[in-house]
Amino acid sequence: MLEPSIVKDEDVEQLIKDVYQSYGYDFSLYSRASFKRRINRICLIDKFTSFAELRYTVLNDPDYLKHFIEEITVNVTEMFRDPYFFKALRDNILPQLGTYPLIRIWVAGCSTGEEAYSMAILLKEANLYHKSLIYATDINPSVLETARAGVFPLQQMKLYSENYILSGGKKDFSDYYTANYDSARFDKSLQQKLILSTHNLVSDSSFNSFQLIICRNVLIYFDRLLQERVFQLFDDSLENLGYLALGSKETLRFSNLSKYYHQADDQKIWKKLDLH
Ligand SMILES: C[S@@+](CC[C@H](N)C(=O)[O-])C[C@H]1O[C@@H](n2cnc3c(N)ncnc32)[C@H](O)[C@@H]1O
């Protein structure tokens, strides 16, 4: 088996080039440290005995490529992740959005959809769901299949229910799903306003204008240059006075665009000023 440390920096560069040239996925501006860690992990899990073997498999087996993309893009997520972020949305942002006749929200890098379902629950409880659309996108088609099914492991429900209560939820969280053996099937009504689609933040352009863009725990995997490009994409996609929400380890502070925004609260939510 390939020792993790055997994957050299130049191997990583080679693989990034190969994947781009053969399949069009551009990982060239992903943070190298994180990318290399993921490649090492793939070698370990899939028991490659040499870098050449990994490279050959990626280049010649499209099914393996699917798995490779899944492993490279970290998909960890949970419902009401960082509950105080959702509390801030509930208490401070949704009342503002409620003044619009139609609320368009983009959840970028939605992974298996837990964040989008959490958003649907918030909107329902704020009585805004009927006039909302949630666009949830990800680079990885497999995670979107899970999001579409709306079925999540039952064992997660204890944590999700605790998160929901900390986010200010007052209902019984189990009202939102039906338990069946080891899975929880979320209420179909939570999908009614949910539009799931693949979208690559690196190469795809803006596709609508939104009052709220949520992109959490995605930019940490990108280098500064790519982060800046994605901020520009979000800026192009956000209406004046719209909100941009980032993850707990992410910030708009160092971006050239920060002067057009002000931080709405201490929960990584920025409001676009009417200056552009
Ligand atoms: C760690 S998950 C974050 C999920 C969710 N936003 C959250 O905070 O719980 C990161 C997601 O970003 C997605 N991603 C990575 N690169 C992307 C890209 N270039 N375009 C769109 N999504 C991407 C991954 O597939 C993954 O589902």
Contact between 22 and 61 under an 8 Å Cβ cutoff? The reply is: no
Whole-number Å distance between alpha carbons of 18 and 12: 10
Taking the alpha carbons of 57, 62, 66, 69 in that order, is the dihedral positive or negative? positive
Query: Which helix (H) or strand (E) is 195 found in, with range?
Result: strand 194-198
Tens of each residue's pLDDT in the chain, 276 residues: 555 566 889 999 999 999 999 999 999 999 998 889 999 999 999 999 888 999 999 999 989 998 999 889 889 999 999 999 999 999 999 999 999 999 999 999 999 999 999 999 999 999 999 999 999 999 999 999 999 999 999 999 999 999 999 999 999 999 999 999 999 999 999 999 999 999 999 999 999 999 999 999 999 999 999 999 999 999 999 999 999 999 999 999 999 999 999 999 878 999 999 876
pTM here is 0.94
* Delimiting residues of CATH 3.40.50.150 domain(s) in the chain: 83-272
Residue 29 in contact with ligand 1 by CB distance below 6 A:
no
Q: Which of 35, 218, 269 to mutate to test the pocket of ligand 1 (most atoms within 8 A of CB)?
A: 218
Q: How many A from CA of 234 to the centre of ligand 1?
A: 15
Residue 38 in contact with ligand 1 by CB distance below 6 A:
no
CATH 3.40.50.12780 assigned to domain 83-272? The reply is no
Which two tokens mark 274? 């009417």
